[in-house]
Amino acid sequence: MLSSVVKKILIVEDNENISTLYRIKFEKEWYVVRVCGDGMDAITHVMDFTPDAILLDIMMPSMNGFEALRVIRQLVPSLRTKIVMFSNLNSQNDIDRCIQAGADWYMLKADTTPAAAVQKIEELFAYSQMKGRTDLLQVESHTQTNTMYCKCPRCWEEFEQTLPM
């Protein structure tokens, strides 16, 4: 684990075999883990467990991940939980829908290992800790033009940021 602080993660996945694999990996990385199988349970767990991260499947019974994400972000807008959508839905429309609803990242289940999920969530935590701390950010800056070159935390696309003089 990259951080010395114990983190809590909620894994929302209706396939018990998949959730078990991810639970074991996160526990080995010293996370406190809770698992639930649908979006309704996820909302309850978010309120009483207050996880640092959520690994959220989309296609689930009773309430899908799209709806759960929307409700979680609306119920607790100040919650700093990193939400990673985790599904085999692979259309750009589905990915855009997740990001617009407030997901921090999207991972294709078929291409993701438990280790890769841990790594991505650790990267999201690290980015959050660096955000706003120019002494830690590794960005290229040009003092003559007051321009910084940064990367978007959601899609990692590079962009220019002009700073006031």
Q: 143 pLDDT band (50/70/90 cuts)?
A: very low
Establish if 3 belongs to a structural domain: no
Establish if 34 belongs to a structural domain: yes
Pair (95, 51) in one structural domain: yes
Give residue 164's domain range. Answer: 134-165
Pair (32, 84) in one structural domain: yes
Pair (140, 125) in one structural domain: no
Half-sphere exposure of 165 (CA within 13 A, CB side): 5
- Predicted confidence (pLDDT) at residue 124 exceeds the cutoff of 60: yes
Q: What is the mean pLDDT of residues 2-9?
A: 73
Pair (138, 117) in one structural domain: no
Q: Specify the pTM.
A: 0.76
Number of domains in the chain: 2
Partnered with residue 84 across adjacent β-strands are: 55, 105
CATH of the domain at 113: 3.40.50.2300
Establish if 146 belongs to a structural domain: yes
Give per-residue pLDDT as tens, 55-80: 999 999 889 999 999 999 998 777 78
Residue at token pair 């767990």: 45
Pair (111, 140) in one structural domain: no
Establish if 2 belongs to a structural domain: no
Pair (52, 109) in one structural domain: yes
Establish if 61 belongs to a structural domain: yes
| Spatial contact of 141 and 130, defined as CB atoms under 8 Å apart | no
Q: 116 pLDDT band (50/70/90 cuts)?
A: very high
Pair (95, 14) in one structural domain: yes
Pair (51, 85) in one structural domain: yes
Pair (25, 96) in one structural domain: yes
Q: What is the DSSP string of 47-84?
A: HHH--SEEEE-SS-SSS-HHHHHHHHHHH-TT---EEE
